[in-house]
Structure 1
Amino acid sequence: MWNRIQTAVELIYPPRCLGCGDLVTSDFGLCGPCWRDTPFIGGTICESCGTPLPGDTDGHRIECDDCMTTPRPWKDGRAALLYTGRARRMILALKHGDRPELARPAALWMARAGKDLLREGMLIAPVPLHWSRLVKRRYNQSALLAQHLGRETGLAVCPDLLIRAQRTPVLDGKTAAERAETLSQAIAPHPKRRHRMAARDVLLVDDVMTSGATLAACARACLNAGANHIFVLTLARVAKDA
């Protein structure tokens, strides 16, 4: 019976490419041209932030210049896409274009990119959104990604592990130092949830990493609350040469 219902639904609403809307063979997929045009990250990467790097791995830990200059308060980080071209358009659609259905396939890509980060008993938590922005957008895209990532990996998710106690200004155009200063007092553990991260590894999830200031503020809040190791996983990474 279920197969018949599914077939009927597919006939009425055939699967379409998330990038261009053309027909595809399965839901939550990309057509061939869109897949080729989507900048998935692969090869040699920075172990701390996931940005792609030239050259081959040599068995030693590799970090980009930014992560060597400013050590991250988390252990390792990964990203699925470069924040450019088609990937940027899809993320903006998820974030501002009322396209929450994009979170499910995005979380699948993130799970593949972050497979080396996953630990037994790890707690997944999204970067928080201030309530005023949540009212305006109606959903936190990072929380959607975290929820789907939890379903894909089987790990526990705490959507309100952290809170954004202050509404910060838009960070676009600010330097890394300015971003860090703006966020220094903005993010804190939820007083009724902080016990969930005590002595536990935490995976922080966000849509895009630019300088890493927001994720750093979240990581410090978790560490100050007694978390064990912090890992970060984002849908996309802004790279200098992207």
Structure 2
Amino acid sequence: MAAPPAHDGVRAAVAYGDVARGVALKLKYGGRLGCADTMARAMMRLMPSDADLLIPVPLHRWRTWSRGFNQAALIARSLSRASGTPSDVELLRRVKATPILRGLGPKGRAKAVSGAFALAPDAQAILRGKTIVLIDDVHTSGATANACTRVLKRGGAARVILLCWARVLHDAEAD
């Protein structure tokens, strides 16, 4: 691969399609918070056995404020309860508001999330040598996962594995 991903693998419970899209949209925009538990149950079978910490992809504070929650954080909490692996929703932060990525190509997505993530002040001591499972709802181009992974690895994480509800295959577009 000419440009390998920064992370150490992607695990997705389902391929992105009509059903996966419907569940993700019910959670994200419909406020159906129970969908996070549904997603986590499907994702649980893919949890890495050596996972030390679950970290959700963060939303910018303004998006969290307008939506009322971070869907990845809800999924991570549910996975944490089911697996016994701790989760930390404060360790990785989105410090730059980014546009909605829908409709942007891979290069546009990468540019939009560049510099968008940072670690909490005490993160390095927590991350050092750990296997991190980065939690997200939908994996599209990999731009967000790569940006998060770079920050986590610079902070000392040994491995970062992305675990998501759905993965977009081919040219399907996620909402």
- TM-score strictly above 0.5: yes
TM-superposition CA deviations, 1:117-139 (whole Å, max 9, x none): 2315x110000000000001101
- Structure 2 counterparts to residues 1-242 of structure 1, below 5 A: 68-112=1-45, 114-115=46-47, 117-119=48-50, 122-240=52-170
Which structure has more relative contact order (CA 8 Å, sep 6+)? It is: 2
What is the SS of the residue equivalent to 2:12?
A: strand
Aligned length: 172
Structure showing greater radius of gyration is 1
Query: How far is the alpha carbon of 1:216 from its aligned partner?
Result: 0.5
TM-score (norm 2): 0.93
Where do 4+ consecutive residues of structure 1 move more than 3 Å?
none
Once residues 103 and 79 of structure 1 are traced to their aligned partners in structure 2, the CA distance between those partners, rounded to angstroms, is 14
TM-superposition CA deviations, 1:153-207 (whole Å, max 9, x none): 1111111110000001111111211211221101111123342111111100000
**Unaligned segments of structure 1, at least 5 residues:** 1-67
Query: How far is the alpha carbon of 1:69 from its aligned partner?
Result: 4.5
Once residues 195 and 169 of structure 1 are traced to their aligned partners in structure 2, the CA distance between those partners, rounded to angstroms, is 32
Greater percentage in strand: 2
Once residues 70 and 173 of structure 1 are traced to their aligned partners in structure 2, the CA distance between those partners, rounded to angstroms, is 22
Q: Is the 1:209–1:234 contact (alpha carbons within 8 Å) kept by the matching residues of 2?
A: yes
Amino acid at match of 1:200: K
TM-score (norm 1): 0.68
**Unaligned segments of structure 2, at least 5 residues:** none
